[in-house]
Amino acid sequence: MNSAVIAGTGCLCACGNSAETCFEGALTSSARFALPLGRVESAYAASYPVFLAADEIVNARPQDESLSLHYFLTAAGEAFFNAGVFPAELAAKKRVGVIVGTSVDASFHCFDLYKSRRIGKTSPASEQELAHYFASSTALAVSRRYGFNGPFQTVVTACASGTDAVGLARSWILSGLCDAVLCGGTDEINLIPYDGFIRLMIAAKERCRPFDKTRCGINIGEGAGALLLMNEETAREFSVRPKGYVLGYANACDAYHPTAPDPEAKGLIKAISFALKDAGLAPQELAFINAHGTASQANDAAEAAAFNTLLKGVPVWGSKGVTGHTLGAAGAVEAVLTICALNKKILPPTTGFSQPDDTIGFSPSTKTLPLAKKAALSDSLAFGGCNAAVILGAEDYYG
């Protein structure tokens, strides 16, 4: 079997506090969409709303954890519960790795430190912050928290980080480097990406509309997705009932532009093609595509070019209509939602979509659709021309 077993999943974002409630939010188009007043200090905070995690999750953060780390540990706890496995028992018997994708938690949370160093202001407190910065690694913190003794890696490939983390975790399983890997992505609302997307003039003042003719930009969001992967032997030993499978993965960089996607989607086409080949699947065997679908003009058009080239006729879901763009967490959150859809055999509607765009060449899901096929694609486009794709299988993929 050229796949990794998904033993458990966990998720939190604007449309729910667990994988189950996030998927329910996707089905009902419910999400917490509000201005980030009190969360970011920005001149734009009164004009550009975001997708926010629930207050009870935010307020439960321990003082010694970043919000991004807290989100991931919350989702990871759900993944272990969902798998029916105690982390300590797994750590005692198996080589367990950790791979976490993030944007904010890699460096943006130290913005105050950067400002003080820039003006030459130092203090014992700032020196402690500097030491914290050099020692910080989301994956390391997670590995230490659970007492795992396997390798750990924090992946920072911008908005493809979560997808890359899941794909790399599968490679650690297949190579024999690990028996199990806790993987996923996490990010919080933060000033730098919040202001950054606004200044790139791709942020929207209203709720995003993926693939819609009237789409006018991105709403950033926050949250985390966690997946516990295992090899077959470990899954059997711990009596795990698979929740799904990671079947294939690829990443391809087109180096088109620092922030804009390639209009011809050459890198994305390669990533999807390689991922399908890795999974041993043909396009017509896919139940659906969980698209990156940020609702910016350039992103949706580039994705459409790839889908129309490789995946004509495969249903498309734009899940960011209920999650927002959760940055480094996006690919992981979408992987969890994709598994939920495959296992429940239903595809949610694309929230925000109402008017077809002739230049796109297709309409995403507009109502709940039944699913008969057992595999799906989730793709991510990122700054720097980074394109990632992962193929996921349902819990009954192997019958």
Q: Which residues are marked as active site?
A: 159, 292, 325
Short-list 277, 243, 285, CA closest to 4? 243
Q: How far apart are CA 337 and CA 85, in angstroms?
A: 21
Burial class (CB in 10 A: 0-12, 13-18, 19+), 191: middle
Phi, psi (degrees; rounded to nearest 5) at 371? -115, 135
According to DSSP H, which parts of the chain are helical? 19-28, 55-59, 67-83, 87-93, 104-107, 111-118, 124-135, 138-146, 161-174, 191-199, 232-237, 266-279, 297-310, 320-323, 330-344
Cα 168 to Cα 268: distance, rounded to the nearest angstrom: 18
Token output for 272: 């999807």
Residue type for position 19:
A
Angle of helix 330-344 relative to helix 19-28, nearest 10 degrees, comes to 80
- What interhelical angle do 297-310 and 266-279 show, nearest 10? 50
Secondary structure (DSSP) of 157-188: -GGGHHHHHHHHHHHHHHTTS-SEEEEEEEE-
Bridge partners (DSSP) listed for residue 368: none
